[in-house]
Amino acid sequence: MTTRQKLEAVSQNLWWSWNPNARDLFRDIAPDVYESSTHAPLAALKAASDDTLNDAKVADRIDAVYADFRSYMETPGSKADAPATAYFCMEYGLHESLALYSGGLGILAGDHCKAASDLSVPFTAVGLLLRDGYFKQKFDSVGWQVEEYPVLDPAEHPMTLLTGRNGEPRRVTVHLGDEPLRLQAWELNVGRTRLLLLDSDHDENPAHLRPLTRKLYQGDRRIRLQQEIVLGIGGLRMLRALNSAAEVYHLNEGHCAFLLFELMRERMATGETREQAEQWVHDHCVFTTHTPVLAGHDRFEPDLLLGQLWKMRDALHLSNEQILAYGRVKPDDHQEWFTMTVLGLNLTRAANGVSKLNGEVAREQWSQLYPDRPTSEVPIGHVTNGIHLPTWTAQPAREFASKHLGDWEADRIAPTFWQKIDKVSDADVWALRSALRKRLVDFAKQHVASQTMKQTFGLDPDTLTIGFARRFATYKRAPLFFHDVERAGKILSNADRPVQLLYAGKAHPADEGGKRFIQQIYGMTQEAPFEGRVLFLENYNMEIGRMLVSGCDVWLNNPRRPMEASGTSGQKVSAHGGLNLSILDGWWPEGYDGSNGWSIGDDDSAQIASDPSKQDRDDAEFLYSTIENSVVPEFYDRTDGVPSRWVARMKNAMRELPAQFSSERMVADYVDQMYDA
C-alpha cells in the first residue's frame, strides 16, 4: 500500500478520534485545512500533496499509525462473546468535526460506542444524520449568544451511503400519519463499532419532510414526535433491511422508545399474539433513563400521537386507549399525555439510571407505575456512566502514565495500574500538573484572540486555574461563583494567591435563561477585578473540552441537586491530576472520599430544594469557604516549590477514579448486568 492508501484507511475509521498520534499526523500534513475544517482528517488528506506524504519522516509516522490501527482492529477485546447489541440514541458525540451532539447524552453515547469497540462487543448503533448539526456559537456586542448552523457535507467525512446491489441507496419507509417518509442511512465506523445515521434529506421525500433529520431537538412537539418515530421505527427497519441481527436492543433515553412498538409489530406479523409479542420484546430490550426531572421527559398529547401513529396502532390491532396505555402512568386516565419513558419502562426487561443517586431519583420518579411495591423495589437499577479515557486523556498525561505507571494502552482500566502513582515523586506529579496548566493557558490565549466575544487575556500559567464547562442549562447554575460579587472578587484578585476562572458552554437556542447566564458571565469578564482573570471560551466543542479537563487544576460543578444525572465532565480530569470541587450530585457521591477533591455542601438529601434561593445562598457559602480555607491554601503552601497537600489529593484522585469511572468499566457493567441477563 502507498502512504496515501494507508492514511486513507485510517481516515475512514473514527479510531483516529481517540489516537493523538493519528490526529497530530493529519494536522501536520495540512495544518490550515485541518484547522479550518474543525479537525477533519479527510479534508486534510485531500489537501495534502504526495510530496508531503512521501517525505521520509512523514512516511515513517504514517507507517507507525497504520500499524497501530491494524493492531487495534485485529486484536480482540475482552467482551467479544457478549450478545450482539443494537443501541439507539438521538445524538452521538464522537469528535468536534462531527457536530452530531448537543451535550452530555451525546458525549456519553459516543464514549459508549468507543468502549464497546475497545471491548469487542458486537455493537451496532443507530442515530440521525444531523446535517445542520449542533450550532456554532458566536456572540453579539453585548454578549448575547448567536447561533449559526454550518451544513455537514457527508463527502467531507468518513461516512458511506448504504446502497443495494444495484447501487441505489437502500431505503426504508415509515409513516407519519398518512404521509410516507423514505429513509436512507449513512455508515460510520467507530473502531469495531458500526454507527448508522438515518437521513430523510433526499429528493424522494416531499420538501416539507426532507429537513426532519437535519437538526437536533428542533421545532415543536409534532416535529419532535416525528423525529422519534424516525429513530425508533425507521432505525429498526433499516437494521432489518441491512440484515443486521441483534440479541439485545438498548434504548438510550426515551427518544427511541417507538422501537418497542416496531418490534411488537414484527412479532405479531409472524403470527404471535400480542401477549407473546409483548413478552418477546420485554425479554430482549433494556432501557436507560437520564432525566432526573419529570418535566424533562418527552410527552405527547393523545391526539397528536394518534394522528402520527395510527398505522402502527392498526398494525398492532389496538384501540386508541390501548396504545396510549403503554405510555401512561395511569392507563385509565384518558387525559394523561403519552410519556416515552413510561413506554420504555413498560416494555423492557431491565432499566437503569446513570449513577447510584440517579437510580434512586428514577425509582422515586416512577414509583406510581409500581403501586404494589415500595419505592426501594421499583425495578430501576443503575449503571454509573464513565468516560472513554483514550478520547479524553491528553498526550502529556498518557506519556507521564506510560513512563511512571506502565503500559497505558494495555492497562489503563486496571485499578492496579493507577495504584502505582503512590511511588511517583511529588515533584514529578506536580511537574505534570504545571505543564498541563501552561498548555491550557497557551491554548486559551490563541483561542480568545479569534473570538467574537472580546475579552482581555490575563491568564498566568502559574496561577490556580478553575474550570467550568458544560451545557448552560439553568439548573447547572453557571454563575453561582458570582452570587456574592465582592467575595468572588477578593478570591480572584488576591495578589499573593490569585485564582483564575475559565468558562465554556452553549445554551440551547430556545433557553433564554441559559443565554442570560452566559451574558452575565461575559459581563463579569469586562469588569474589575475579574477582567483578565475570568474568561469565556466561545463555541464549546470536544476540542475545548479536552483542553479544559486536562489543563484545569480544579473542575467546578454546582448543579441543583439532584438534577445532574451523572455529569461525566468531572470524570475526565482525574487522569490529569485535576481535582473536582462539586455538589454531591451525579457520579460524585460515588467518587468522593474526602481526600481526592472537595464537596460543595453535604449529602443530607436527594430532594430538590423547596427554597431554591436559600439553596443558592447556602451552596455559594460552601463554595467560597472551601476555596478560601482549603483549595487556595493547599495549592499555594509549598515546600521546595511543591504543594505536598495538593499533590496528595492529586495522587488520591489518580489512584481511585480513572479506572472506576471509565466507559470500559461502564460497558462491561452493561454487558454483565443487562445485555447478558
Cα–Cα distance, 452 to 226 (Å, whole number): 36
Report the predicted TM-score, pTM, of the whole model to 2 decimal places: 0.97
Q: What percent of the chain has pLDDT over 90?
A: 94
- pLDDT tens for 356-385 read 999 999 999 999 999 999 999 999 999 999
Cα–Cα distance, 147 to 285 (Å, whole number): 37
Over range 147-153, report the average pLDDT.
92
Over range 594-619, report the average pLDDT.
81
Cα–Cα distance, 160 to 335 (Å, whole number): 45
Return the SS3 of 96: coil
Q: Using the structure block, give the residue that is written with the C-alpha cell 455559594.
A: 620
Cα–Cα distance, 95 to 390 (Å, whole number): 12
What pLDDT does 145 receive?
97
- Going through 136-247 in order, the beta strands assigned E by DSSP cover 136-139, 145-148, 159-161, 172-176, 179-190, 193-199
Asked if the model's pLDDT at residue 217 lies above 90, the reply is no
What pLDDT does 605 receive?
47
What pLDDT does 219 receive?
72
pLDDT averaged over every residue in the chain: 96
- Check if the beta carbon of residue 344 is closer than 8 Å to that of residue 257: yes
- pLDDT tens for 413-453 read 998 999 999 999 999 999 999 999 999 999 999 999 999 99
Cα–Cα distance, 516 to 385 (Å, whole number): 30
What pLDDT does 610 receive?
73
What pLDDT does 603 receive?
67
- H helical segments located in 552-662: 588-591, 612-626, 632-636, 644-656
Cα–Cα distance, 598 to 652 (Å, whole number): 12
Cα–Cα distance, 579 to 464 (Å, whole number): 12
Cell of 579: 481535582
Work out the pLDDT band at 607, boundaries 50, 70, 90: very low
542: enclosing H helix or E strand: helix 542-551
What pLDDT does 134 receive?
86
Cα–Cα distance, 132 to 136 (Å, whole number): 10
- Check if the beta carbon of residue 327 is closer than 8 Å to that of residue 338: yes
Q: Classify the C-alpha dihedral 395-159-107-670 as positive or negative.
A: negative
Asked if the model's pLDDT at residue 182 lies above 50, the reply is yes
Over range 610-619, report the average pLDDT.
89
- pLDDT tens for 266-312 read 999 999 999 999 999 999 999 999 988 888 899 999 999 999 999 99
Cα–Cα distance, 278 to 249 (Å, whole number): 14
